[in-house]
Structure 1
């Protein structure tokens, strides 16, 4: 058996090093986002809750003058908007459901909220029990589903989406199907190319770091099918 040429060997080592570096960057990024989300919740969130309570008590003691009551009501409305903005920022940084309720609930609620927000029929098929996989796999599954749904909203013009998660002894598989315009349309032609949509490209690299794959294919009845397969480590959990 012939040995690989020196340049090919160097290229392979460089590719492996870059993959490992990218995986490390993603892990650090995830940890930083989680930390920032917790800070927003613990510090800013607590302060906003306290302000809401103090404002409520103050409004009870205020003179019943229309001008004062209107100003106080306006202040309360602005405060509630800030509370909601803070909550949305926390969610965008890190989905706490992943930590406290598990990846199964996080995936299911993400699909449900997506359907309600975008008025799309969104179906989700999940295992009956919590997924038997490491935390790192759950994070990649959730981020990939988020990116897939973003792409469907931006490019697919779909009216129906199916999300299927299969959990077996050796691997976890995520499948996202839509009935949109498909890969052949100009607006979606670059979805499966390495230089196309960076979000899906990053998801593919994250899957590769865990030894898995991410593929995009045309659906049998139109639309696009995204499939991510993540093998389980031998000592998972």
Structure 2
């Protein structure tokens, strides 16, 4: 091997090693997030539910004192707020619907909730049947959609978004298109926070699985994020 060819070989080998390491780190991080989410559900969730039941029983035994009843109502509202915060933390750490109900339900409900919460016309086109993909593929699709929707709210100023999942024998593709200001108009804003790094990590995760992630501005405005992941051979 010539002296000129050695650096090229080294760079390619180093890139492959870094890609494998990143894939391993992401897999470990996903498992840790899933574990933490389940701990919040099993431990804190059950404790909060028990506290709510005990408070209800205690309230029934209180004398009809307006001050005591008002304090009991405040405690009940506080508990409900803590329960809701705990539920949101669980969901942000790990979306259990991905495993228990499948990627179709997880993606579809995420789009529906996004539209209702932010007043955006959110449309979703999904395969009729559950895609047959490894768990790693489904996680990347869900994370990519989460990141795309987050960026739409933070930077795109969009009023509508279309999410399409195409599934065939060889690959699965996620497309998220909005009618916002376009990637060039808010690129500075993306660079100012973690969104840029979030997309880079997702792109590397897609590459690790043999796929691609692209983010382009449309000719008529708006931005389109596309993730293409090849399916492993049977």
Q: What TM-score does the superposition give when structure 1 sets the normalisation length? A: 0.94
Cα distance change on mapping 1:70 and 1:184 into 2, 3 Å: same
Structure 2 gaps of 5+ residues are none
2:172 and 2:47 map into 1 onto residues whose CA distance is 41
2:84 matched to which residue of 1?
Answer: 84
Alignment of 1:91-102 (within 5 A): 91-102=91-102
Matched, 1:233 2:222: no
1:52 matched to which residue of 2?
Answer: 52
2:25 matched to which residue of 1?
Answer: 25
Alignment of 1:115-126 (within 5 A): 115-126=115-126
1:35 and 1:69 map into 2 onto residues whose CA distance is 39
Matched, 1:163 2:177: no
- For the 8 Å contact 1:20–1:209, the answer to whether it is kept is yes
2:134 matched to which residue of 1?
Answer: 134
- For the 8 Å contact 1:41–1:90, the answer to whether it is kept is yes
Shift of 1:220: 3.3
Q: What TM-score does the superposition give when structure 2 sets the normalisation length? A: 0.95
**Cα RMSD after superposing both structures:** 1.7
2:74 matched to which residue of 1?
Answer: 74
Cα distance change on mapping 1:49 and 1:196 into 2, 3 Å: closer
What's the secondary structure of 1:197's corresponding residue?
Answer: helix
Structure 1 gaps of 5+ residues are none
Shift of 1:184: 2.5
Cα distance change on mapping 1:221 and 1:125 into 2, 3 Å: same
Matched, 1:215 2:214: yes
Shift of 1:183: 2.2
Cα distance change on mapping 1:72 and 1:20 into 2, 3 Å: same
1:4 and 1:134 map into 2 onto residues whose CA distance is 40
Shift of 1:188: 2.6
- For the 8 Å contact 1:34–1:93, the answer to whether it is kept is yes
2:162 and 2:131 map into 1 onto residues whose CA distance is 19
2:181 matched to which residue of 1?
Answer: 181
What's the secondary structure of 1:225's corresponding residue?
Answer: strand
Shift of 1:58: 0.5
Alignment of 1:100-115 (within 5 A): 100-115=100-115
- For the 8 Å contact 1:133–1:232, the answer to whether it is kept is yes
Cα distance change on mapping 1:82 and 1:221 into 2, 3 Å: same
- For the 8 Å contact 2:151–2:195, the answer to whether it is kept is no
What's the secondary structure of 2:174's corresponding residue?
Answer: strand
Deviations 1:11-64 (A, max 9, x none): 100000000000000000000000000000000000000000000011011111
2:176 and 2:48 map into 1 onto residues whose CA distance is 38
